[in-house]
Amino acid sequence: MVPAAEARERLILVTIDLLRQLPFNQVTARRVTTEADLALPTIYRIFGSMEGLFAAASHQLMRQALAKTERLQDLELFFDPDVILRSRLLAWLIAEGADPTSFTVSFVDEIIDAFQEETGGVSERAASIWLHSLTFLLEGYALFSGVHNMSEEQVADGFALISELRKLLPTVDATLGWSTEGASPTS
C-alpha cells in the first residue's frame, strides 16, 4: 500500500500533468488513478471528491508559480503557465457548478509579510487589498486576454501602469489612514 502523503502528491502531480494535456472534462478519476498507478477509491479517501483533488491541484499550481517568482512585485505571474492553467481550471469548475468557496485564495495570507517587506512596510490591510486586487486582475487576464484586441504595446503599457501604481502604495496607504490603524500612540 502506498502511504497517504505519497499517494496525495502523486495524484496532484498526475492531475496537473493531465490538465496540461487534455480538455478538463477528460481528466477523470479513473484516468488520474490509472496514470498514478493507484486504486480508484484513493482520490475519494484523500480528497473526498474530484473537486477536492482539483482544488488541491489549483493550490499546487499557485505555489509553483510563486516559487518561480523572485519578487512578489514582479508582473511575470501574469504570464506564468501555472497561473493561467489554475485560473482556467477554477473558471471551468465554477462554471460546472462547483462552490467557489472551495477554492479560497489562501496564498495571500502566506505571502503578505514578504510583500509588506518588499513594499517598504505598507500596512497589512493595504498589502492584503493590493494582493487580492492583483489576483483578480491576474485571473481575469488569464481568462480573457485572448478576447480583447490589445496590441503587445497596450499590454505592456497596462503592466507599466500597474507597476507604477504599486510604487504609490505606501503613499495611498498613508492617505487612507491604513498605515496608522492599530498603531499605538506615542507619548
Q: Which long-range contacts (CB under 8 A, 24 or more apart) does 9-12 make?
A: 10/36, 10/37, 10/38, 11/36, 11/38, 11/42, 11/43, 11/46, 11/47, 11/53, 11/56, 12/53, 12/56, 12/57, 12/60
- pLDDT confidence tier of residue 73, bands split at 50, 70 and 90: low
Q: What's the confidence (pLDDT) of residue 186?
A: 43
149-172 pLDDT tens trace: 888 899 889 888 988 998 999 999
User: What confidence tier does 29 reach under pLDDT thresholds 50, 70, 90?
Assistant: very high
Q: Residues 120, 170: contact at Cβ < 8 Å?
A: yes
pLDDT at 74 over 70: no
Q: In this predicted model, what pLDDT tens digit does every residue of 91-124 receive, in sequence order?
A: 999 999 999 888 876 778 878 888 888 888 899 9
Pairwise pLDDT comparison (79 vs 185), residue with the higher score: 79
pLDDT confidence of residue 145: 84
Q: At residue 71, does pLDDT exceed 80?
A: no
Which cell numbers hold the place of 64? Answer: 509553483
185 band by pLDDT with thresholds 50, 70 and 90: very low
**CB 80 within 8 Å of CB 70:** no
Model pLDDT, residue 106: 73
DSSP, residue by residue, 47-72: HSSHHHHHHHHHHHHHHHHHHH-SST
Rounded CA separation 111/131 (Å): 9
Whole-Å CA distances, 77 to 11, 60, 80, 127, 181 = 25, 15, 5, 17, 30
